[in-house]
A and B are shown apart, each in its own frame.
Chain A
Amino acid sequence: DAKTTQPTSMDCAEGRAANLPCNHSTISGNEYVYWYRQIHSQGPQYIIHGLKNNETNEMASLIITEDRKSSTLILPHATLRDTAVYYCIVRVAIGGANSKLTFGKGITLSVRP
């Protein structure tokens, strides 16, 4: 799986958009970008994934650059409950030997009141 690079931490004000960047310059054509988050003392939680088109769901939006070498996870209106470690993961979507997720250190998002 391609390696990802994320800043160590960032913060944002409650109610504002949180834009979390991720670099994955060695991504292959068949690899997806996944985002998970882990709130303190809980198990990781799936947020969103995408291949090359921008994706949006009830939790967040995922913007992938045209060359697919980087992406941004957007939380449109951050709340205090969004304070967590956010993991950007790249992997092939198909199952079997490619089913596992490799978590890096992630980015710690702190939402301030």
Chain B
Amino acid sequence: DAGVIQSPRHEVTEMGQEVTLRCKPISGHDYLFWYRQTMMRGLELLIYFNNNVPIDDSGMPEDRFSAKMPNASFSTLKIQPSEPRDSAVYFCASSATSLEQFFGPGTRLTVL
């Protein structure tokens, strides 16, 4: 199994641009999580899905952030418009039972 796949691995963009991060969970997993990690705030849960349905989006910072899961094998996290304070590493994770979560390698986002 390839594990959780995230793309791109690195993204550099300018303030105001739209950014789309992508995640492919492990096949058969019915939970998908989006986290953000910064030095100041540590690792924070943004949103998670169960069977493609958003369950808890209370961690989404503001309306500029949106996440979708159109099918069991794909999810996106979109930031529009992006701001410098959005610079962070964004992790996607999936799990089969909500017990053990498997994390992807992350996307390092830099907003200039």
List chain A positions with a Cβ less than 8 A from chain B: 38, 42-46, 49, 87, 93-105
Q: Determine whether the beta carbon of A95 is less than 8 Å from that of B31.
A: yes
Contact of A42 among B45, B95, B105 (CB under 8 A): B105
Q: Determine whether the beta carbon of A44 is less than 8 Å from that of B91.
A: yes
Q: Determine whether the beta carbon of A43 is less than 8 Å from that of B99.
A: no
Q: Determine whether the beta carbon of A99 is less than 8 Å from that of B103.
A: no
24 interchain pairs, CB-CB under 8 A: A42-B106, A43-B93, A43-B103, A43-B106, A44-B91, A44-B101, A44-B103, A45-B103, A46-B100, A49-B100, A87-B43, A93-B99, A95-B31, A97-B56, A98-B98, A99-B31, A100-B45, A100-B48, A100-B56, A101-B33, A101-B45, A102-B45, A103-B44, A104-B42
Nearest CB to that of A99 among chain B residues?
B98
- Chain B 13-34, CB within 8 Å of chain A: the 1/0 string? 0000000000000000001010
Contact of A46 among B31, B33, B56, B101 (CB under 8 A): B101
Shortest Cβ distance from A95 into chain B, in angstroms?
Answer: 4
Does B71 reach chain A (CB closer than 8 Å)? no
Bound Cα distance from A103 to B37, whole angstroms:
10
Bound Cα distance from A94 to B97, whole angstroms:
8
Contacts of A87 in B (CB 8 A): 43
Contacts of B100 in A (CB 8 A): 46, 49
Bound Cα distance from A94 to B98, whole angstroms:
7
Contacts of A93 in B (CB 8 A): 98-99
Nearest CB to that of A92 among chain B residues?
B98
Bound Cα distance from A100 to B44, whole angstroms:
10
Contacts of B44 in A (CB 8 A): 103
* Residue in A94, A101, A104, A105 whose Cβ sees the most chain B Cβ within 10 Å: A101
Contacts of A105 in B (CB 8 A): 42
Contacts of A42 in B (CB 8 A): 105-106
Shortest Cβ distance from A9 into chain B, in angstroms?
Answer: 15
* Residue in A87, A94, A100 whose Cβ sees the most chain B Cβ within 10 Å: A100
Nearest CB to that of B33 among chain A residues?
A100
Contacts of A97 in B (CB 8 A): 55-56
